[in-house]
């Protein structure tokens, strides 16, 4: 299953599910250097050790197939159970650029404490990377997420996942501030290590910047 969205069941069995995103959901181009995320916000959940995810994502204004939509190749790997790294190629339809990301788990989740992680993404673009601090906590069929991120402006992040079934997860998230996004998505386990993900992201201030993403991912262990 894909790394980008990671679904965690009450039994603590983790299904990593899907998709890359619009610059980790900040006001940058879609499809750049995404750590394990919800629709947009980076989370405190990591891929397992020796796990690799390959993703192909299309995103565009209105639909993923709109004129000028971006097509991105996204990769993520669990180096250890507490560290993951990624490399993305955006945009395959035009002049391509390569971006990197990295995340470290500071504290594992317990009954009394959320998981806590720090990371950086869109490493390699002009200007400084985007840094973040994320927390995650399981509550029955729901998983809650919160944190802070900085892309020149300090922003809050929050998100929620609901395990609708063993194969389907609904998830929503929001990064605060001008030109950032709030979004809603559905992740589907397709079997055989494959997953599919579709989401819609609305810009907090500029409706003309709204977009939809479609992601197909394959995850394996080595």
pLDDT tens-digit profile of 56-103? 999 998 888 888 788 999 999 999 999 999 999 988 887 888 999 999
Q: Which residue matches tokens 């998505």?
A: 185
What are the tokens at 50? 């020796």
Burial pattern 188-201, b for ≥16 Cβ within 10 A else e, equals: bbbeeeebbbbbbb
pTM: 0.83
Q: What is the pLDDT of residues 114-144, one digit of tens each?
A: 999 999 998 987 778 999 999 999 999 999 9
Q: For strand 194-203 and strand 168-175, is the pairing parallel, antiparallel, or unpaired?
A: unpaired
Residues 5-221, CATH architecture: Beta Barrel (2.40)
**128 in helix, strand or coil?**
coil
Q: For strand 154-163 and strand 142-150, is the pairing parallel, antiparallel, or unpaired?
A: antiparallel
Q: CA 62: distance to chain centroid?
A: 20
Q: What region, left, alpha or beta, does residue 179 occupy, with left being phi > 0 and alpha being psi -120 to 50 degrees? A: left
Phi, psi angles (nearest 5°) of residue 61: -70, 120
Q: What is the mean pLDDT of the chain?
A: 84
Rounded Cα gap, residues 31 and 40, in angstroms: 10
């Amino acid at each position: 299953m894909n790394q980008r969205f990671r679904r965690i069941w009450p039994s603590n069995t983790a299904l990593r599910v899907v998709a890359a995103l619009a610059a980790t959901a900040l006001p940058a181009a879609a499809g750049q250097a995404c750590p394990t995320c919800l629709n947009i916000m980076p989370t405190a959940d990591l891929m397992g050790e020796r796990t690799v995810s390959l993703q192909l994502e299309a995103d565009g204004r209105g639909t993923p197939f709109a004129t000028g939509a971006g097509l991105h190749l996204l990769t993520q790997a669990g180096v250890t159970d507490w560290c993951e790294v990624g490399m993305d190629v955006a945009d395959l339809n035009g002049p391509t650029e390569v971006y990197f990301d990295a995340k470290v788990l500071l504290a594992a989740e317990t009954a009394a404490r959320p998981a806590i992680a720090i990371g950086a993404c869109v490493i390699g673009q002009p200007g400084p990377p985007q840094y973040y601090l994320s927390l995650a906590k399981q509550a029955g069929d729901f998983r809650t997420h919160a944190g802070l991120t900085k892309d020149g402006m300090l922003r809050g992040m929050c998100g929620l996942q609901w395990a609708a079934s063993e194969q389907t997860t609904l998830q929503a998230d929001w990064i605060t501030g001008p030109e950032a996004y709030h979004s809603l998505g559905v992740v589907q386990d397709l079997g055989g290590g494959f997953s599919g993900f579709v989401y819609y992201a609305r810009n907090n201030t500029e409706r003309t910047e709204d977009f939809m993403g479609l992601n197909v991912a394959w995850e394996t262990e080595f």
